[in-house]
A and B are shown apart, each in its own frame.
Chain A
């Protein structure tokens, strides 16, 4: 499934070490990290994606060489503490990272035969069979994929809707822009046709629906109905402020479905909601995924949600994917102490008295200058050893379960004799606190 010529490209692009090059050859029988070409059933293949923020304080490595595949019809969970780079990864996929952030490296292979056909032979655009590397296509094309190919559900529905425009209008917009795109696929200008500054000024005085058409509005009603909002005909004309949080999240899902996307990225879709409503929303997502056969990237800090919904899971820490595999392999055969820590921090439903053990310490600073060249988890790791002061290798635990991990423990047992002194990182920590500002 991979031919040698393209592997060379890949090898050059991945900037991997010698060991990486070796595994590349063995992809398909359980490579440690998905460095190969995208598989036919991979809707999305992310390779070595890095996103940096260039702030006044310095460079922040929010996403560091992340790779994963998203298969057809699956729900991929991305889990990690806040600040681990999950959300930035999601935004990077849909090219929504804003200044001072920038995607600095990596590939985002997206399966779209038509697009591949269109760009095949175009210089500068990398095409691999049905897949196109979205990092190389013109920005306008990337933008046109938002909606019909990718959709995002954001964490806070209240702030993700414009408070001064009706919910229906906002969903209808999402429908309308795709309608217009279909009518004139190659011109981005046509999507705002008849909507310039002049129209705006009119719109400002008379809140109107100059942009959206009746059909789009009807479709919005239909979508609202589909996500389980009662009386959609009436609710389309209400403002976001008149919706409850759960209803609004449903509306956001409806909005995300407007373009009938292949990939739905749900960025902490339930965090801002009550527990009871969380379950409803998650059920809705599952239903939709089953009905429409979409692929979903579900980003959450809640392992419980992952356990319930996902087929496969990526665990992120400090911008990196530290453990990855099928749900069972990661949950049952946990290797990385961080994943273990996360699992330890969810209350055990069966044994309510079991102690909740939060991971000691804080998420590390992602400031480039303050990140050492070692395992970033080492200072919090209960099993930190001398060898953790080097960058940990990528390792495959179980090729069949696609189970990979970024930890020295992948191929050896923890030996308390090697343990680092308790105060090994304290000096570093003091330095970090001092510079942190608050």
Chain B
């Protein structure tokens, strides 16, 4: 995919990640966390599943108490239209009802969804074969036409709605249907097509969508997912029942309730009071309270989200590579992880996370070394400079505290003064995504979730010249990323991306901070394993 055409793609993606509310839209469509037909293509480690979630064949097993499961998140949905939102919370709520063609396992590997076979055709298009027996909640069989309509409704503005997910599936040229088959062709080559379809693209029924009003579609659901909607209270709670006709067998849960409390301590209180079973984003200081109770435990997983401090390459003092490296030496990320996050984070050294396509295992983090930092600052000729770190308030786990800690450490260098400016997220994001790089902040904290598990999905928007949030213009890096887009051989592509990561590390456009953990509180009454992509799949939960 040539970078020239990327602008469109990337800018779109921005909205998905940084736009409206909620955490960055990470979760892919789901429904089936179990096995299902294992795909053939490119999914590594897909068999490394925990054995604990044996949801299959749970039908009729509910002899005793009904299995009522509650999930409490930070925020509720923004309407139930699966194709008209761009945030994680909505994705989680809608994802119980709708599914995509492909899916991911707990570790992020690609598995089958509504399509049980998928392949790349000779011309670079992708072909999905729909499974038999998948039906919408209203009883109608899933058809290839529904799939075509769904994809077109997402990517084309003139079909139904202007979807904020329009570019989540790549630059789609056209969708064609065959007998139980759907073929999607792209403009140019799309090396990560399956990654995209495993994360995005929920399928709706054409007739149902066309016959109902927008308000109705946002309050009701007719998907193919493992749960059916029983009660929707906007902004309060959503109640589900198992879809007994689900193609992969009905989930063990008899009644699922999803609700939200914006305060983490409230969520923990609810968990400990046994009012709910799964709570999201338990903050570090609450962890011991959960662990020491006998009703719940902490269950955490490294997420696909990284936190970093962006430094704009075209303004002083950040135009100096030495200065940027100095900043990386000045911040003691280990100590921040230890003290601010109570250890719930992994230090990073490159834009791509361990486990994602293109990760370079040979790069080590910049060591914490204030003296080296001072020396580099001196060398850069910016000694005595005053800088301001802008940070969003309350958007990422402990964001303000992290920014303040980092700024304090920079400030304690003898030759740099650093202050923190707190910004409301939506206004900061407006600046961060300003069309011209000249309008973007000089130095700011940002988080980025990579739902596709592919390094290019971080580096292209954030570090390529044309990226929607870039703070860097470097021909060498641009070249590597362009090459990666056009490379059809996966292994070769990995090599190129690894090289790009090394380059990004050396250029130090960011202060590389950490990889966030998703920290859940889980009731001891249930068994459930979290996923790496922040999606919650209660259909894999079982009663203990």
| A/B contact in complex, CB under 8 angstroms | no
Query: What is B's interface to A at a CB cutoff of 8 Å?
Result: none
Query: What is A's interface to B at a CB cutoff of 8 Å?
Result: none
